[in-house]
Structure 1
Amino acid sequence: MGITISETAAREISTIIDQQELDRQKVRLRVGVKGGGCSGFSYLLDLTETARDADEEFDQHGIKVVCDPKSYLYLNGVSIDFKDEVMGRGFVFNNPNATSSCGCGSSFSA
């Protein structure tokens, strides 16, 4: 299954890479989880040039995605989209592994 990024999310990530003048050949989107948030875990998105040997790696719409093995246990099958709506703007996670998530959508429990 892996981690899926929508075309809309990939365009937004591309825009951020360009705005920050990062090297497209080296930069990767690190997707992960960390303890905390209202539901137990919070999602983590970061642009990095570092990929570790143990990382899972994916290529989605020209974006290189990396995820550490521990986070991947919670994120295998997740899809990431980007919404730009009247009520807010940001990345949206659809995680089939989450047993519940908070109202803001930035944390979950599994």
Structure 2
Amino acid sequence: MTDFQTSSSSGLTGGRPRRPRPKVITLTDAAADRVREIMANAEKAYVGLRVGVKNGGCAGQEYTFAYAEEIGPMDEVVEDRGVTILIEPKAILFLIGSEIDYETTKLASKFVFRNPNQTDACGCGESVTIIPAAALDAD
């Protein structure tokens, strides 16, 4: 094998080691605790939490959460703080670098996204404008 061939056993591509990919999404301790609590109280066992982005709302896009019954062949699977997060393929570039938190105030308890790709949000906070992240590595 030459230096320019891929070696799956050594982790080399084109003769150089690949750097580890960062997680698309991370959770705070509060968010992970709340997701584990919700999953434990669900009506049946699920493989994880599916996170995505859909068109809607006055700012153009909304974050989505759903129970995941299976892992899709193109899903990005993220394990963080004991929680399995499945990210829809079309949402990955919109969510790169995001952190999900869970906040409780006197008037509300909710999941909050801290997304570096988010450029705007509506006044009520239910919808956002997100610009897809640039590809991090062309390899």
What TM-score results when the alignment is normalised by the length of structure 1? 0.90
Moved over 4 A (4+): none
Q: Hey, what's the Cα distance between the residues in 1 that align with 2:43 and 2:34?
A: 14
Q: Hey, what's the Cα distance between the residues in 2 that align with 1:76 and 1:104?
A: 24
Q: Which has the higher strand share?
A: 1
Alignment of 1:36 with 2:56, yes or no, is yes
> Alpha carbon RMSD of aligned pairs, Å?
1.3
Paired residue for 2:91, among 71, 87, 93? 71
* Deviates most, 99-108 or 61-70: 99-108
Aligned partner of 2:8 in structure 1 is none
Of the two, which has the highest radius of gyration?
2
Q: Hey, what's the Cα distance between the residues in 1 that align with 2:93 and 2:126?
A: 17
After superposition, the C-alpha distances for 1:35-83 in whole angstroms (9 at most, x for unaligned) are: 0012100000111122111111110111101111211111111110001
Aligned partner of 2:37 in structure 1 is 15
Q: Percent identity?
A: 38
Cα drift, residue 17 of structure 1: 1.1
Stretches of structure 1 that go unaligned for 5 or more consecutive residues are: none
Q: Which has the higher helix share?
A: 1
* Deviates most, 100-109 or 27-36: 100-109
Preserved contact between residue 92 and residue 105 of structure 1 (Cα < 8 Å): no
Alignment of 1:108 with 2:111, yes or no, is no
Alignment of 1:27 with 2:51, yes or no, is no
- Number of equivalences: 108
What TM-score results when the alignment is normalised by the length of structure 2? 0.72
Letter matched to residue 110 of structure 2: G
